[in-house]
């Protein structure tokens, strides 16, 4: 199945390249270009934190490992607080006592919990003003309900026994419950906290990139555990190649689903803009966020809840997974979609009187 998906992506890359040669007649050529041009921003935001992840894992490992062992948990689950492509995978696999748990935490859990904490919330909170920010926060609050459900289902899909899947879900469920409580009771304070967290991550990834570049250029080793910058850039490059096909594929998917999505939007009460926003999030979180202001209030809440689990599934997260753990490509797609559906359904039920 993974081979089929990658072949489809390859065909889409060919179609995008051909359309670019012919003058971008269909828009696939533009998506092909975007897939390559996004390599720069991705490298700037990801390379440093990937380089620094082994150092961070060693620093935190002395505290995290004994604490998680004390309660019978694999320390790999701690890595899920960072996004899959912002050091979460590297941290989870380095902390892991079981390789399968490390891959699960770094791919499946980090693509939902970590992405929400490190990207979706900080970027959305900084992008929107009231009342859109209030709707976005409310949607994120509802969406946190779906994370433990999706991660439990993802663990079963990945082949873990029922009791193991339940136990792996415990730390994520507790953290999700804490985030829901804090967002509900202290929304303004949480907005500031997430903004500070995003700024800290920016500093950390910039420092990691600068230090890795210094070690590469000078040959002077400052931190021996720092991942070589050329190794981290190899990961980024493979993501960029996959994006050459995944963005044209996402464009084709948008064309194919436009009419049924419009009909669905009217039926469930969030309009065509709301359903298209959900599709955008499933493809890429950034255009999904930019589409939120053009929706109705109810659609903003529902789409934000859907975004918690689904963000960037078909582009950045799938591309990263295909490079690091291709056997988890299908579980990633299924789990994130399932979580998004649960989050959106809960948000629709909670806003049923606002339809």
- How many residues can be counted in the chain? 355
pLDDT for residue 355: 67
pLDDT for residue 1: 66
Which pLDDT band holds residue 5 (cuts at 50, 70, 90)?
confident
CA distance linking residue 334 with residue 352, whole number of Å: 27
Which pLDDT band holds residue 347 (cuts at 50, 70, 90)?
very high
**Percentage of the chain modeled with pLDDT above 90:** 48
Domain range annotation of the chain: 2-354
Looking at residues 146-172, what average pLDDT do you find?
95
Q: Is the pLDDT of residue 77 over 90?
A: yes
Task: Give which of 161, 160, 355, 177 is closest to 274, Cα–Cα.
Answer: 355
Helices 229-268 and 28-37, interaxial angle, to 10°? 140
pLDDT tens digits, residue range 264-299? 888 888 998 899 889 888 888 877 888 899 899 999
The CB density around residue 328, as the number of other CB atoms within 10 Å, is: 23
The CB density around residue 330, as the number of other CB atoms within 10 Å, is: 15
CA angle 234, 284, 280 (to 5 degrees): 160
CA distance linking residue 285 with residue 283, whole number of Å: 7
CA distance linking residue 232 with residue 111, whole number of Å: 19
Please answer whether residues 341 and 333 qualify as being in contact, where contact means their C-beta atoms are separated by less than 8 angstroms: no
Looking at residues 197-208, what average pLDDT do you find?
86
CA distance linking residue 101 with residue 90, whole number of Å: 13
Long-range contacts of 341-345 (CB under 8 A, 24+ apart): 341/306, 342/145, 342/146, 342/149, 342/150, 342/309, 343/142, 343/143, 343/145, 343/146, 343/305, 343/306, 343/308, 343/309, 344/278, 344/302, 344/303, 344/305, 344/306
CA distance linking residue 134 with residue 102, whole number of Å: 35
Which of 53-67, 163-177, 237-251, 326-340 has the weakest average pLDDT?
Answer: 237-251
């Amino acid at each position: 199945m993974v081979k089929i998906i990658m072949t489809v992506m390859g065909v889409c890359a060919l179609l995008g390249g051909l359309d670019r040669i012919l003058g971008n007649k269909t828009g696939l050529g533009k998506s092909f270009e975007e897939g390559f041009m996004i390599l720069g921003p991705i490298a700037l935001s990801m390379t440093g934190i990937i380089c620094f992840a082994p150092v961070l894992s060693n620093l935190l490992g002395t505290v995290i490992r004994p604490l998680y062992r004390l309660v019978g948990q694999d320390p790999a689950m701690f890595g899920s607080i960072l996004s899959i492509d912002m050091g979460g995978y590297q941290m989870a696999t380095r902390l892991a006592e079981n390789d399968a748990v490390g891959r699960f935490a770094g791919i499946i859990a980090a693509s939902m919990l970590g992405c929400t904490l490190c990207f979706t919330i900080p970027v959305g909170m900084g992008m929107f003003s009231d009342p859109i920010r209030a709707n976005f926060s409310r949607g994120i609050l509802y969406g946190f309900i779906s994370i433990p459900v999706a991660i439990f289902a993802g663990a079963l899909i990945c082949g873990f026994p029922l009791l193991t899947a339940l136990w792996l879900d415990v730390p994520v469920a507790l953290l999700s419950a804490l985030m829901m409580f804090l967002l509900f009771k202290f929304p303004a304070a949480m907005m500031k906290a997430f903004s500070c967290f995003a700024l800290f991550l920016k500093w950390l990834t910039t420092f990691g990139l600068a230090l890795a570049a210094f070690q590469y250029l000078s040959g002077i080793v400052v931190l021996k555990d720092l991942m070589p910058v050329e190794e981290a850039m190899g990961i980024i490059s493979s993501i960029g190649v996959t994006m050459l096909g995944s963005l044209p594929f996402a464009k084709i998917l948008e064309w194919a689903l436009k009419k049924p999505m419009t009909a669905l939007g009217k039926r469930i009460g969030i309009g065509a803009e709301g359903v298209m926003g959900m599709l955008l999030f499933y493809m890429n979180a950034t255009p999904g966020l930019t589409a939120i202001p053009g929706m109705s209030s109810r659609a903003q809440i529902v789409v934000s809840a859907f975004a918690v689990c689904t963000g960037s599934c078909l582009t950045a997260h799938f591309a990263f997974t295909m490079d690091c753990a291709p056997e988890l490509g299908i579980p990633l797609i299924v789990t994130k979609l399932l979580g998004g559906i649960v989050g959106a359904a809960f948000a629709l039920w909670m806003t049923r009187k606002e339809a």
